[in-house]
Amino acid sequence: MLTIFTVPKPFIDEHIKIIQKNAISSWLRLEPRCEIILVGDEKGVAETALEFGIKHLAGIKKNEFGTPILSDIFNKAQQAASFDNIAYVNADIILLNDFVEAVKLVKENLFVIAGKRWNLDVKEPFLFSEKGWDLALRERILKEGTLFTFSAIDYFIFRRGFFKDIPDFALGRCAWDNWLLYEGRKLGAKLIDATAVITAIHQNHNYSHTPWAKKGWVGGPEAKKNLRLAE
């Protein structure tokens, strides 16, 4: 029914390992079962795909800073996907079953679904095998979580093959996510804000994986290039 692809950070930092495996584990519990594709050549990605028994795509183009290029990611993932409905999701996002339920409700042939995320501090591996884990997580979000702004978008659901001419944005830097929404609308897709029906849980983390820490997301040379490409 649905293919989910993601580009994990290196599985080096212990906290990043935990939150990324939490995310993947949650996706594997979606029903109907989704196809999961891990994209990239970072340390531990191939091994994690093998551990979870999911597909891995290697050989992704990178820029001069070693950051994966969005156009190559989307092109290769769309080619490798088994289903017509496809979703890019950031690798630190826990999903609940309302994600796939929302896709079932869409009647349009051309659409782009996106929405706000909930920020939550997570330090530990979740026990997804425990009964009622999803209800417990929803309660925790209401008590401890924060609904983030629409300035950073962590998931996109669309038809396979819809996005074709994407500029060479650096993944994980600013501008590309909002550009996808603009491009989707320009191409005639219905933009659907699923904030009210999809619970996307972002597990908070630091930005030590970028050369310029958090300011690199909006102020480093890669971010500046992304802004130029988005014009």
- Section 55-75 average pLDDT: 98
- Token pair of 226 as six digits: 């992304």
Provide the pLDDT for residue 206. Answer: 67
User: What is residue 102's predicted lDDT score, i.e. its pLDDT?
Assistant: 97
Alpha-carbon span 217 to 23, nearest angstrom: 22
Q: Which of the four pLDDT bands, split at 50, 70 and 90, describes residue 188?
A: very high
Specify the number of domains making up the chain.
Answer: 1
Whether the per-residue pLDDT at 156 is higher than 50: the answer is yes
Q: What is the arithmetic mean of pLDDT over 115-122?
A: 97
Q: According to the model, what pLDDT value does residue 151 have?
A: 77
Average pLDDT of 139-167?
Answer: 94
Instruction: Indicate whether 189 pLDDT > 90.
Output: yes
Provide the mean pLDDT of the chain. Answer: 94
pLDDT at position 150 is 77
**Predicted confidence band of residue 212 (pLDDT cuts 50, 70, 90):** very low
Residue 215 amino acid letter: K
User: Quick one: tokens of 3?
Assistant: 């293919």
Q: Where do we find the tokens 């950070």?
A: 9
DSSP string, 130-194: STTHHHHHHHHHHHH-EE--TTS--EEEEETT-------PBTTSSSHHHHHHHHHHHTTPEEEE-
- 48, 38 contact by CB (below 8 A): yes
Domain that holds residue 100: 2-230
**Under 8 Å between Cβ of 35 and 3:** yes
| pLDDT at position 149 | 82
Based on the number of CB atoms within 10 Å of its own CB, is 54 exposed (0-12), middle (13-18) or buried (19 or more)?
middle
Question: What gap in Å lies between CA 143 and CA 173, rounded to an integer?
Answer: 30
Q: Domain holding 18: CATH number? A: 3.90.550.10
pTM of the model: 0.94
Other CB atoms within 10 A of residue 212 CB: 16
User: What's the whole-number mean pLDDT along residues 99-123?
Assistant: 96
Residues, the chain, total?
A: 231
Q: How far apart are CA 215 and CA 220, in angstroms?
A: 7
Categorise residue 195: left if φ over 0, alpha if ψ from -120 to 50, beta otherwise. alpha
